[in-house]
């Protein structure tokens, strides 16, 4: 199961769990690493800076295509070659984020967004896609303890995060994501994720 995706609203604990999962996989002898979206390539990291900069203005459609450009490059330059070499990749966000944030969050047609995502990933399918679900207030409290600067997406506030969360719920209901209750301590969540990955 070499391509594992962790998803969820900002502050749900994805990054913490992605790092723990990579460490566990590495301990068991796998060549594993974490990658994040947007990012992971020179193009992707530059686009990430623009996308998260509060000074950037981008209409929903421009924002959509910028995330897709970063993703298409990551798939072509990093993901496919690494998977072909047998590496295990833990991906902090993938196309599900675009459907949730730009589709459900910004009001773009989720069906059209999903079709655009398919084009960007060129048929690449994860072996496991886990949605770490927490209430918006819990995620906000977790973010508040860990960070200082608020980026352009976080600045949209709780109402936006609720729409994003409803997008993840729709993806889970459609069978695209596996929901995991993430309102539990780090070590408990780590055990649940490990079981889900190893069971796959």
Nearer of residues 29 and 36 to ligand Z5A, judged by Cβ: 36
User: Residue 36, interface with ligand Z5A (CB under 6 A)?
Assistant: yes
- Binding to ligand Z5A (CB under 6 A): which residues in 37-66? 37-38
Stretch that binds ligand Z5A, among 25-33, 122-130, 145-153, 171-179 (CB under 6 A): 145-153
Nearer of residues 32 and 139 to ligand Z5A, judged by Cβ: 139
> Rounded distance, CA 163 to CA 29, Å?
40
Are 52 and 153 a contacting pair, CB within 8 Å?
yes
**DSSP code per residue over the chain:** --EEEEE-STTSSHHHHHHHHHHHHHHTT--EEEEESS-SSHHHHHHHHHHH-TT----HHHHHHHHHHHHHHHIIIIIHHHHHTT-EEEEE--HHHHIIIIIIITT--HHHHHHHHHHHHTT---SEEEEEE--HHHHHHHHHHH-S---TTGGGHHHHHHHHHHHHHHHHHTTSSEEEE--S-HHHHHHHHHHHHHH-
User: Residue 14, interface with ligand Z5A (CB under 6 A)?
Assistant: yes
User: Residue 128, interface with ligand Z5A (CB under 6 A)?
Assistant: no
User: Residue 24, interface with ligand Z5A (CB under 6 A)?
Assistant: no
Stretch that binds ligand Z5A, among 30-38, 54-62, 81-89, 118-126 (CB under 6 A): 30-38
Nearer of residues 88 and 131 to ligand Z5A, judged by Cβ: 131
Judged by CB under 6 A, which of 3, 4, 5, 12 binds ligand Z5A?
12
User: Residue 146, interface with ligand Z5A (CB under 6 A)?
Assistant: yes
Chain residues binding ligand Z5A by CB under 6 A are 8, 10-16, 36-38, 67, 93, 97-98, 101-102, 142-143, 145-146, 151, 153-154, 185-186, 189
């Amino acid at each position: 199961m070499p391509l594992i995706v962790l998803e969820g609203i900002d502050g749900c604990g994805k990054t913490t769990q992605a790092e723990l999962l990579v460490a566990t996989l590495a301990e068991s002898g796998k060549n594993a690493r974490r990658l994040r979206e947007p990012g992971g390539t020179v193009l992707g990291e530059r686009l990430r800076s623009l996308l998260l900069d509060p000074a950037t203005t981008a209409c929903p459609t421009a924002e959509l295509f910028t995330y897709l450009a970063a993703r298409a490059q990551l798939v072509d330059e990093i993901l496919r070659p690494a998977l072909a070499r047998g590496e295990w990749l833990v991906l902090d966000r993938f196309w599900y984020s675009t459907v949730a944030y730009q589709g459900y969050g910004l009001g773009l047609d989720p069906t059209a967004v999903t079709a655009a995502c398919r084009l960007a990933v060129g048929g690449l399918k994860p072996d496991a896609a886990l949605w770490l679900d927490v209430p918006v207030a819990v995620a906000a409290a977790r973010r508040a303890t860990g960070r200082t600067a608020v980026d352009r997406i976080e600045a949209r506030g709780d109402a936006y995060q609720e729409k994003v969360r409803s997008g993840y719920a729709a993806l889970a209901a459609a069978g695209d994501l596996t929901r995991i209750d993430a309102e539990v301590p780090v070590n408990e969540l780590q055990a649940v994720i490990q079981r889900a990955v190893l069971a796959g």
